Amino acid sequence: RIADIARMYSGHLVALFILVAVPRATPDLLLTYVINRHGARNALPKSSFLKESASIGGVTLLPQGQKMCHDAGVAFYQRYINASTCARGNLCLAAGGDIDYGVIQQGDGFNNFNTYVRSSVTDRALLSAQSYLAGVFPAVPAWSNATAYLPTGQQPVPVYMAAGSDKDDTLVRAYTKCPVYDAQLASWYASPEFKAKEVESAGMRAAIEAATPVGLGLEFGLASWWNVYDAYNVWRAYGVGDAMPDIPQTLFEQARALAVWLELSKGASARDPDALLGGPLLSDAVRYMQAAVDARAQGDATYYRLLVVSGHYNVQLAVLAALRLDTHAAARAALA
């Protein structure tokens, strides 16, 4: 079965869960394939075609973003790993009683033979993965006194980069390197829909431009509107980036609504009808699903049952668009 599409965690972080159960009288959870977006980060200027600067790692994840991801990991732990809570819905991911990470002894715990975590090469996604896993596999107090473990009792879990460099990452960040998609975006920017939104939003955008200090490099056209909203948002929420003036809350909410419309429209299935952006990751998920089903049918317990991809809201939207779920109200609300 496929369920829990676009589930909201902690009010900030969205995860896409694909759950597979082998048909039987009492279905059990076979695997989870989790697609996370990173947590709160520093200001991130990007082009209208979603391109970023070439600086290694990009902008950093903020401490608040680490907490968001950790909270999402704790929610996952409670729902799918903690035996006292996951059993209520028959959703326990562990095959046996051992729920720790690492090859400690013979048992059914989590290790590199059944757990696979990948991330884009960006700082914000890599740190998000580490923070998330700290919640999924919480510290074990008893381990802190043993010389064989870290003094904090932490359970370290390896995070693999999806590619050696960002320019080679077509699994997680295909949306930044697809010329066909860029052409679709360019066509949409010239469309009647986009032009109408430009006219509709002109007054609000002009009001914010008038309130914004000059010299910040911001462009107030609709195609670049995300950067304007992002500059205000990270300053208001986290006090990072350029100092921005106070504007009325109603005006800020209008700016946010326009930015959400713009970003969701960029990632809509209408922009990517052939699933060029989300198709690779969706195919990857299906491949691991099939491998798990085949392994279970053969009585083989050695298969990947916990898979995590740490990425960006764009890739979540791309997968939803590939599934033609991007217009679903719950999915749009969770990604907003």
Q: Are residues 86 and 153 in the same domain?
A: yes
Half-sphere exposure of 124 (CA within 13 A, CB side): 21
CB count, 10 Å around CB of 274?
Answer: 11
Q: CB–CB of 139/149 below 8 Å?
A: no
Residue whose token pair is 């939104």 = 197
Residue ending a domain, among 272, 287, 320, is 272
Tens-digit pLDDT profile for residues 52-81: 776 667 889 999 999 999 999 999 999 999
Q: Are residues 83 and 167 in the same domain?
A: yes
Q: Are residues 108 and 242 in the same domain?
A: no
Residue ending a domain, among 221, 253, 272, is 272
Q: Are residues 65 and 141 in the same domain?
A: yes
Q: Where are the beta strands (DSSP E) in the chain?
A: 7-9, 13-20, 31-37, 115-119, 160-161, 306-311
Q: Are residues 52 and 85 in the same domain?
A: yes
Q: Does the pLDDT value for residue 5 go beyond 80?
A: no
Tell me which residue range forms the domain holding 164: 1-177+277-335
Query: Measured between alpha carbons, how far is 149 from 120 in angstroms, rounded to an integer?
Result: 28
Identify which of 127, 118, 2 has the alpha carbon closest to the alpha carbon of residue 68: 127
Q: Are residues 302 and 324 in the same domain?
A: yes
Q: Are residues 189 and 170 in the same domain?
A: no
Q: Are residues 138 and 256 in the same domain?
A: no
Query: Measured between alpha carbons, how far is 208 from 204 in angstroms, rounded to an integer?
Result: 6
Q: Are residues 166 and 209 in the same domain?
A: no
The greatest distance separating any two alpha carbons of the chain, rounded to the nearest whole angstrom, comes to 67
Residue ending a domain, among 222, 256, 272, is 272
pTM of the predicted protein model: 0.89
- Average pLDDT rounded to a whole number, residues 9-29: 49
Query: C-alpha distances in angstroms, 227 versus 170, 216, 316?
Result: 24, 11, 20
Q: Are residues 204 and 230 in the same domain?
A: yes
Q: Are residues 255 and 113 in the same domain?
A: no
Q: Are residues 54 and 87 in the same domain?
A: yes
Structure confidence at residue 146 (pLDDT): 65
The backbone torsions φ and ψ at residue 309, rounded to the nearest 5 degrees and listed phi first, read: -120, 120
Tens-digit pLDDT profile for residues 195-236: 999 999 999 999 999 999 999 999 999 999 999 999 999 999
- Average pLDDT rounded to a whole number, residues 128-145: 90
Count of domains forming the chain: 2
- Whichever domain contains 134, its CATH number is 3.40.50
Tens-digit pLDDT profile for residues 85-129: 988 888 888 866 678 888 655 556 898 889 999 999 999 999 999
Identify which of 86, 17, 2, 30 has the alpha carbon closest to the alpha carbon of residue 300: 30
